Amino acid sequence: MKTCFLLLLVCLVFGAACSTAPESLIAPVPAASSSATTPVPDTGRTRLTRDELLNGFMAVAPVEESALAMPANAAPAAHVFEGRLELLNEKGDGQSQVLRGEPEPYEADLPEFDFEFVQNQGYLIPVRRGLIIADHPMWNIILEPGRAWQEPGDGGYSRASIPFALTPKGGNSTFNGTLTFLFDDQSISKVWYQVTQETTTYTRLNLWGLLEAAYHPATVAEADQIGADFTAELAARLPVKPIQALAQDYPGVDVSAFGSGVSPEHMTWYGLVVNGVNYLGGCQTRYGIYPYCEAMRATSYSTAKSAFTSVALMRLAQKYDPKIAELLIKDYVPEYAASTGDWEQVTFNHAVDMSTGNYVSAGFMSDDNSEKMGEFFAAQPFSERIEAAFDCPHVSDPGARWVYRTSDTFILTRAMHNYLQDKEGPEADIFQFVVDEVYRPLGLGPGAFTTMRTADDNWQGQAEGGYGLWWIPDDIAKIATLLNNNGGAIRGKQILHPDLLAAALQKNPRDRGVKIDSQRMYNNAFWANRYTRSQGFDCEFWVMQMLGVSGNVVAMMPNGITYYYFSDNQEFTWEAALREADKIAPLCP
């Protein structure tokens, strides 16, 4: 079992597709909705009825996602859910359908589920948000706020549904699901759950089941504050419109350019951030539009290198030392001494630029896709992982050649962590620093306040840095706005060091970073593509990106528009979106 787990982990991290199921196993995909946020019409319930949830039914597959959504004209819930929701007999009562990959049999089972919730203004809010380390051989879980409402056919019961995501232990992949049930003041029906969408290029599967459950009513500590905090979280989100609204707001724009070039069955969600509005599309599952598009968690993969590790460096530079990028790795990560490479002159800047001079192959992405890197991804706990990160030879001078190595980001993350502890004491943590100094002031919700860590202390060790976050669309829209529109300032206060950010944005011609090829540079963990008159534009300009291996793109354009999508077929394309964005705001002044 351990061998299979390590293989799965490596494939999840690399984004490698290991095998493909016959097409006959793949459930038909309903036609996409015209809007990811279109309300579900109340046409009368035919699935997950009161009788089915109370008495059970035969379930040979997931149901349409609309059956788990709150109808557009639903009445407010007659009851208030406050206390613990406990699922019973999770092990063995779930079913699965493998569409790609070879998951372990126990993946069909949910982790043990026993969590507190509070109800506030029609929302059912989990007390614990973000990544929850579960007592399960494979899965951890992320809970998001759901809804509670009343339907006339439920015989006086109230109804609720909750979005959640499963993530593999030690892996960054996301498997999105929803659960639903009936409740009154003291009792609960059976709970139906289904998982019908993922962001991972290795495993594709459907999970579903109808489980016995228990409701434990009780007063939840600080329930009012939890409700107030979520109300504030919703209020702080950027305004959202369906992607189709671009055609009305900006006549002449071809909306089909956004999301194009990516296989629809592999798209999680996509959007365009224009003038402070988040135009959102996608959220298609194999059984219809996901009921909670704006709460749908997508795997970060290497977008974390930019949005966490590089942002951490920029914040440290602004708060403590503008020359932090010139510090030497060896002065902050003592494990370097056992390396087979040469780290004597390697700076924080070399590590964030992927130019340490320590690598195996200079071929494009060769090292990160190598068996050697697989050993790094599988190494646990921290002591073994940092040793594996340094296990590569010295080949060239620092800063001379770009070679993409996620292990270098792990080393840099550790260096910044130790630097921060020198400044703030032994309890300081580099990821929590970014949460407190950037994510929370920016208005991100608590679902973004946890990250993948090494296996020490029940997976609470060193933050990974190179990957290991989970985004909702609003997270990406806000981070991109901070970088691309607000110059690293939040409500007028400079948070990120302007020089490091300007270099990442290719606004400093004296600091382009490290050359990838004739059209691309890499600077401060951001990719940049150069566009010229030869491609039909009126000037030369750069488009900066955060990228993730599965097919995650956050393209920040010089006209202030950001185009993003998260997918899992390793498809990277944004030129059609770039040309349509030029119609909204010129790319060339």
Domain presence at residue 210? yes
Q: Are residue 374 and residue 467 in the same domain, yes or no?
A: yes
Bigger pLDDT: 494 vs 106: 494
Beta-carbon neighbour count of residue 105 at 10 Å? 8
Task: Note the helical H segments in 206-294.
Answer: 223-236, 246-249
| DSSP annotation string for 116-134 | EEEEETTEEEESS-EEE--
pLDDT at 14 over 50: no
Position 22 confidence tier, pLDDT thresholds 50, 70, 90: very low
Quote the CA–CA distance of 551 and 572 in Å, as a whole number: 6
Of the chain, the percentage scoring pLDDT greater than 90 comes to 88
Instruction: Say what the pLDDT of residue 312 is.
Output: 98
Mean of all residue pLDDT scores within the chain: 92
Domain boundary among 220, 235, 250: 235
Q: Are residue 212 and residue 309 in the same domain, yes or no?
A: no
Q: Are residue 113 and residue 214 in the same domain, yes or no?
A: yes
pLDDT at 505 over 70: yes
Q: Are residue 358 and residue 455 in the same domain, yes or no?
A: yes
Domain presence at residue 176? yes
Domain presence at residue 132? yes
| DSSP annotation string for 166-193 | EEETT---EEEEEEEEEE-SS-B--EEE
Q: Are residue 174 and residue 127 in the same domain, yes or no?
A: yes
Domain presence at residue 504? no
Distances (CA, A) of 166 to 93, 211, 252, 281: 17, 17, 40, 22
Domain presence at residue 501? no
Question: Helix crossing, 382-389 with 406-424: angle to 10°?
Answer: 120
pLDDT at 18 over 80: no
Domain presence at residue 396? yes
- State whether residue 38 is helix, strand or coil: coil
Q: Are residue 217 and residue 252 in the same domain, yes or no?
A: no
Instruction: Say what the pLDDT of residue 307 is.
Output: 98
Instruction: Say what the pLDDT of residue 101 is.
Output: 86
Q: Are residue 288 and residue 221 in the same domain, yes or no?
A: no
Instruction: Say what the pLDDT of residue 102 is.
Output: 78
> Could you read off the pLDDT of 70-121 as tens digits, one per residue?
999 899 999 999 999 999 988 878 899 999 887 777 678 899 999 999 999 9
pLDDT at 8 over 70: no
> Could you read off the pLDDT of 511-522 as tens digits, one per residue?
999 999 999 999
pLDDT at 315 over 90: yes
Q: Are residue 378 and residue 270 in the same domain, yes or no?
A: no
Instruction: Say what the pLDDT of residue 34 is.
Output: 32
Quote the CA–CA distance of 399 and 100 in Å, as a whole number: 40
Quote the CA–CA distance of 208 and 249 in Å, as a whole number: 40
Cis omega (within 30 of 0) for bond into 426: no
Segment among 28-37, 133-142, 449-458 with least mean pLDDT: 28-37
Domain presence at residue 497? no
Q: Work out how many domains the chain is built from and give that number.
A: 3
Instruction: Say what the pLDDT of residue 333 is.
Output: 98
> Could you read off the pLDDT of 286-313 as tens digits, one per residue?
999 999 999 999 999 999 999 999 999 9
Quote the CA–CA distance of 34 and 41 in Å, as a whole number: 14
Q: Are residue 151 and residue 63 in the same domain, yes or no?
A: yes
Domain presence at residue 496? no
Task: Note the helical H segments in 444-537.
Answer: 456-459, 473-484, 498-504
Residue 27 DSSP label: P
Q: Are residue 257 and residue 377 in the same domain, yes or no?
A: no
Q: Are residue 27 and residue 95 in the same domain, yes or no?
A: yes
- Average pLDDT of span 34-42: 39
> Could you read off the pLDDT of 201-239 as tens digits, one per residue?
888 999 999 999 999 999 999 999 999 999 999 999 999
Beta-carbon neighbour count of residue 185 at 10 Å? 12
Beta-carbon neighbour count of residue 565 at 10 Å? 29
The residues with which 553 forms a beta bridge, in sequence order, are 547, 565
Q: Are residue 103 and residue 194 in the same domain, yes or no?
A: yes
Of the chain, the percentage scoring pLDDT greater than 70 comes to 92
Instruction: Say what the pLDDT of residue 91 is.
Output: 83
Domain residue limits at 544: 239-297+472-480+511-584
Q: Residue 133: is it exposed, middle or buried by C-beta count within 10 angstroms (0-12/13-18/19+)?
A: middle
8 A C-beta contact, residue 205 and residue 107: yes
Instruction: Say what the pLDDT of residue 29 is.
Output: 30
- State whether residue 414 is helix, strand or coil: helix
Question: What CATH number should be reported for the domain holding residue 333?
Answer: 3.40.710.10
